[in-house]
Amino acid sequence: MRKDFIALYSTLAIVLALLIWIMVKLNSFDYRINHIGLMLAELRILNIPKQVTDVVIDEGDSFSLGDSQAPVTAIMFFDYECDFCKLFFVNTFPIIEQRLIQTGKLRFVFRHFPIEMHPNSYMAAEIAEHARLQDKFIEMHNKIVRTDYLGEANLIALAEQLDLDTTNWRSNPVPTFIINGKMYAGIRNFEEFKTKS
């Protein structure tokens, strides 16, 4: 009788562990990315013609990969909390990097575009730019797009994995403006804008 109880408890423990593993997997980034990929394929969204509009955009002082003389330049505006942006960077970008960027056919420009409904995306963009100042933008970017949680403690932990100095990355947040291709940090009054115009 006691052996039956031990067998029953062992079975229940295994089932419970399996259920916990499934719950963790269902909430993981990899699962969400794969689920989004399947959803897009099933709905054939990737085959719908995309709207194309002529625009002129100054890329400013953004991080870029690829030859500055590449015949094509792509500028992507992205949000670190956007699952579709993450889907692109995890699944598609590595192929683009290997076949187009590394072969000199494309230069890829990274532009942050955190939206209001994604408050942690602002912090992620800030720490990615802080990493850029230490010549580790792409390494930090890759870590950010592969993580589920963008809270401050987790972002600092990711940065520390790259040996980044994080002592002052949030100590002096100030607005930054790019005017005619030059970056101006700090609060600016009307007169300063007028003199730059």
What residue numbers bound the domain in which 29 lies?
Answer: 2-43
The structural domain count of the chain equals 2
Q: Give residue 24's pLDDT band: very low, low, confident or very high (50, 70, 90).
A: low
Q: Is there a single domain that holds both residue 116 and residue 62?
A: yes
pLDDT attached to residue 113: 87
Q: Is there a single domain that holds both residue 34 and residue 131?
A: no
Flag the least confident range among 75-84, 104-113, 117-126, 179-188. 179-188
The predicted model gives 10-17 an average pLDDT of: 67
What Å distances lie between residue 37 and 27, 48, 91, CA to CA? 15, 15, 9
pLDDT of 46 higher than 60: no
Q: Give residue 61's pLDDT band: very low, low, confident or very high (50, 70, 90).
A: confident
pLDDT attached to residue 28: 57
Q: Rounded distance, CA 137 to CA 128, Å?
A: 6
Per the domain annotation, does 155 fall within a domain?
A: yes
How high is the mean pLDDT of the chain? Answer: 77
Per the domain annotation, does 154 fall within a domain?
A: yes
DSSP string, 70-108: -SEEEEEEE-TT-HHHHHIIIIIHHHHIIIIITTTSEEE
Q: Is there a single domain that holds both residue 125 and residue 38?
A: no
Q: Is there a single domain that holds both residue 96 and residue 126?
A: yes
The predicted model gives 155-164 an average pLDDT of: 92
Cβ(37)–Cβ(91) below 8 Å: yes
Per the domain annotation, does 48 fall within a domain?
A: no
Q: Is there a single domain that holds both residue 30 and residue 66?
A: no
Give 165 or 53, the one with higher predicted confidence: 165
Flag the least confident range among 37-51, 61-75, 123-137. 37-51
Give 11 or 67, the one with higher predicted confidence: 67
Task: Give the tens place of pLDDT for each residue, 96-135.
Answer: 999 999 999 999 999 988 888 888 888 899 899 889 989 9
pTM, two decimals, is: 0.63
Per the domain annotation, does 49 fall within a domain?
A: no
Q: Is there a single domain that holds both residue 77 and residue 152?
A: yes
Q: Is there a single domain that holds both residue 96 and residue 177?
A: yes
Per the domain annotation, does 174 fall within a domain?
A: yes
Q: Is there a single domain that holds both residue 27 and residue 103?
A: no
pLDDT of 144 higher than 90: yes
Q: Is the dihedral of CA 91, 96, 98, 101 positive or negative?
A: negative
Strand partners, 179: 182
Q: Is there a single domain that holds both residue 98 and residue 137?
A: yes
Q: Is there a single domain that holds both residue 131 and residue 77?
A: yes
The predicted model gives 68-76 an average pLDDT of: 90
Q: Is there a single domain that holds both residue 59 and residue 30?
A: no
Per the domain annotation, does 118 fall within a domain?
A: yes
Q: Rounded distance, CA 85 to CA 107, Å?
A: 18
Q: Is there a single domain that holds both residue 80 and residue 100?
A: yes
DSSP code at position 147: -
Q: Give residue 91's pLDDT band: very low, low, confident or very high (50, 70, 90).
A: confident
Could you give the count of Cα atoms lying within 13 Å of 75 in the half-sphere of its Cβ?
12
Per the domain annotation, does 162 fall within a domain?
A: yes
Per the domain annotation, does 50 fall within a domain?
A: no
Cβ(179)–Cβ(188) below 8 Å: no
CATH code of the domain covering residue 147: 3.40.30.10
pLDDT attached to residue 137: 94
